[in-house]
Structure 1
Amino acid sequence: MPQSVPTFDELLDSAVTSAVHLEMRDAYGVASEAEDFARWHEIGQRDTDPGSAYWAPWTALVRRTVARGVSVRRARIVSEPVSDYIRYEHAGTVVNLGAGEDVRWLARRRASDLALPGNDFWLIDGTVVRWNHFTGAGASGGGEISTDPAVAKLCADAFEAVWARGTPHDEYKID
């Protein structure tokens, strides 16, 4: 019987020490970002108001997670030159940072010799993996949970390898 997949609120609210997220796609097409991405693409301006309807649920979740002493880190592996979507993500990362996340970027060519899992994931406290599945077009394909210690170790090792090579957001420049 498949394990139920907790919401992101439940997942981060369950964290005691750490929540890490590895993103490996150059484009996402999730419905909740469609309007903001289209606006950015049209006028070049990104919603960076942490209190906006778009950002408020996420910033509140991260703030309360960090307030409990949980480290929240996000690493992104990206192809260079970057895609329009990555430019969009980069423009909004100031909000992630302001909420308490730490974010690093790694050029895909610098990840070639790293053992990476096949999907994006969240790893909570080094023990619970939430796989993020996506369709070919980047839409959410649902999530999946694993508590297999070998899978958690694969994800922890992959994340830390990417993190060690990654460039902090404030230093990662997009041309």
Structure 2
Amino acid sequence: MPAGRTLERLLADCRLSAVHLEMRDVYTLNDPKFDAWQAGHRIDLDDRSSWWRPWLQNIVNTVARSVEDRRARIVSEPVSSYIRYEYDITVPNLRAGEQVRWLPRRRATDLALPGNDFWSFDDAEVTVELVSGHLTITQPHEIALYAGAFAELAALAVYGKVARALITKAIQAVDG
């Protein structure tokens, strides 16, 4: 992130749209919540205090300002255990107002996508997520490339009941 600019601050300053593209099948294997999920713990959607976290309030605040908050996830099939975990914990994001779409990697092969995950804010700034940090892009012609990639992907990706069916089918393929 730029010096002094956290993701929370970038969202707070956003006025039109925030988009996030995720393309990896695993993000962290040293996460106690992921470990608990693997051991069988599931969030209780009826007990908001058990799953509500500060990040979700950022989404609520962003959407309350009429900012469109969208996320797209490209996933391999069969889905990894981490993607299964992400799928299970996405409901709170949806309840907070984030629009989350899913796209099988096999359907993304014709798209010109960047090599790394990224955030885009108001089509004015892109933050590329690197292994050891972030890269901030502010040149309009470069931002347009990221915006175009996300738009193409979002047009192909699915959400809601269709996404549930896609992920469920991919999980069933793994589980037999």
Measured against the shorter chain, the TM-score band is 0.7 to 0.9
1:170 CA drift (Å): 3.2
SS in 1 for 2:89: helix
Counterparts of 1:104-143 in structure 2 under 5 Å?
Answer: 104-134=101-131, 141-143=132-134
Cα 1:12/1:3, change in 2 over 3 Å:
closer
Residue 171 of structure 1 and its aligned partner are, at CA, apart by: 1.9
1:144 positional shift: 2.1
Q: Which amino acid aligns with 2:107?
A: R
Q: Can you list the C-alpha shifts for 1:6-41, whole angstroms capped at 9, x where unaligned?
A: 21110101100000000000110176xx01000001
2:39 partner SS = helix
Partner SS state of residue 114, structure 2: coil
Name structure 2 gaps, 5 residues minimum.
Answer: 172-176
Closer/same/farther in 2, CA of residues 157 and 30 from structure 1, 3 Å limit: farther
- Hey, what's the Cα distance between the residues in 2 that align with 1:145 and 1:61? 21
Deviations 1:140-174 (A, max 9, x none): x2222110112211110010111000011432132
Rg larger for? 2
Aligned to 2:98: 101
Match of 2:174 in 1: none
Counting matched residue pairs gives 165
- Relative to structure 1, the CA distance from residue 149 to residue 30 in structure 2 (aligned partners, 3 Å threshold; closer, same or farther) is farther
Which structure 1 segments of 5+ residues have no match?
135-140
Q: Is the 8 A contact 1:22 1:75 kept in 2?
A: yes
Q: Distance in 2 between matches of 1:86 and 1:35?
A: 16
Q: Write the deviation string for residues 49-100 of structure 1: whole angstroms up to 9, x where unpaired.
A: 6544x64211110000000110000000010110000000000110110000
Task: Give the match for residue 138 of structure 2.
Answer: 147
Q: What's the CA shift for 1:4?
A: 2.4
Separation in 2, partners of 1:160, 1:41: 33
TM-score of the pair, normalised by structure 2: 0.86
**Counterpart among 58, 76, 82 of residue 85 in structure 1:** 82
1:47–1:92: 8 Å Cα contact kept in structure 2? no
CA contact (8 A) 1:50 1:59 kept: no
Moved over 3 A (4+): 46-52
